[in-house]
Structure 1
Amino acid sequence: MQNANDLGRSSTVLEQNSTLIAVIEMSLSSWLVAGIVPGLDRHPLKKLGADEDALLRLLHHWREEAANVGHAITRIAVGFEAGRDGFWLARWLRARGVEAFVIHSTSVAVPREHRRAKTDRLDTEHLKRALLG
């Protein structure tokens, strides 16, 4: 039996041709934003200062890029790890019509067998996988 309040499941279907997906690797002074933009062959990656207005402008710019290649974006979903800054940003984005998902760092699967590379670029790839999962 399914639980109606199961926060591990999304009640909204992912429409890949109309959903812009972005993940943020946050640090104290800068944010690395990676996106999956419908209609673009590349996965854009942009480093920003820790500025929520710049983030919103970037998301709208990516939405315009998708519209220019014929994909009307009806949903923007952003995910990032819970941390020092996570929850205020989620509330701020949701107030502006952006779906925000705060991901607990232990729910991001990483290989544990041996030492691994640890860069912000690799972390954004792990976050994309966690958000889409």
Structure 2
Amino acid sequence: MPITADQTQAQTATPFDLGAIFVSLELSKSTWLVTALSPGSEKMSRHSVTGGDIAGLFSCFAVLRQKAKRRKNRLYPMVIIQEAGLDGFWLGRVLSEEAWIESHIVEAASIAMPRRHRRAKTDRIDGEMLIRTLMAWKRGEPRACSMVKLLTPEEDDNRPIGRERKTLVAERVFHVNRIKGLLFAQGIREYEPVNRDRRQRLDELPP
């Protein structure tokens, strides 16, 4: 079974019944780190799943739900948060298909960070911070974070088009400036390589 648990768990001040299992996902190509806060527990638990292993991820969720059920005699739903990124939208769509999962995707830059001192960036801190951010957002705190709309497969497919156009425009500007610079070095001014009459103007230039 590809699920492992970290025995070292962090303290959190939430001894009351949350009404759901709050989960954050830290996604990388090799490993998905699952941080969870369950009803009846005052500590967050951490588990790792092989990156891309959907079956392993749902097995991890099943274990968390069964543990919470043994403590509270109730099968709890799950509220899950993950950062917008490489795996964000397709995984979000998979999770949203389950009636017992409430899935959210957060814009990482919108999460408030402490200003007085810098904190070490580790998966543990990120996972715990995501859960605290999610709980604050669920309480209705408007400045906790900004959630991203879950895109449909069609909308997701259209996203690269804008990025590719931006790249092509930047490449065109680079080549236009390079051509104008080469001509300027030969004493040729006011030539616009993108104008419609560029070929005619080029023929009119001195050799």
Q: Is the 8 A contact 1:17 1:71 kept in 2?
A: no
| Structure 1 range deviating more: 89-98 or 106-115 | 106-115
Q: Which runs of 4+ in 1 moved over 6 A?
A: none
Answer 1 or 2: higher relative contact order, Cα 8 Å, separation at least 6: 1
Task: Tell me what 1:5 maps to.
Answer: none
Deviates more, 1:113-122 or 1:72-81: 113-122
Any idea what SS the aligned residue of 1:117 has?
A: coil
Q: Quote the Cα distance in structure 2 between the aligned partners of 1:121 and 1:74.
A: 24
Equivalent residues of 1:81, 1:102 under 8 A apart: yes
TM-score (norm 2): 0.53
Of the candidates 73, 78, 85, which is equivalent to residue 80 of structure 2? 78
What fraction of aligned residue pairs are identical, expressed as a percent? 34
Comparing 105-114 with 77-86, greater Cα deviation is found at 105-114
- Structure 2 unaligned regions, length at least 5: 1-15, 137-207
Q: Which structure has the highest helix share of the two?
A: 2
Q: Over alpha carbons, which structure has the higher Rg?
A: 2
**Structure 1 unaligned regions, length at least 5:** 1-14
Matching of residues 49-68 of structure 1 within 5 Å: 49-50=50-51, 51-68=53-70
- The aligned counterpart of 1:121 is 124
Aligned to 2:134: 131
Letter in 1 for 2:61: L
Q: How many pairs were matched up?
A: 119
Q: In 2, distance between residues paired with 1:116 and 1:76?
A: 28
Matched, 1:102 2:99: no
Residue in structure 1 matched with residue 45 of structure 2 by the alignment: 44
Deviation by residue 1:65-118 (Cα, 9 ceiling, x = unmatched): 011112413421110100011011111011122111001111212234554311
Secondary structure of residue in 2 paired with 1:69: helix
Aligned residue number for residue 143 of structure 2: none
CA deviation after TM superposition for structure 1 residue 119, in Å = 0.5
Residue 25 of structure 1 contacts residue 80 of structure 1 at CA under 8 Å; is this kept in 2?
yes
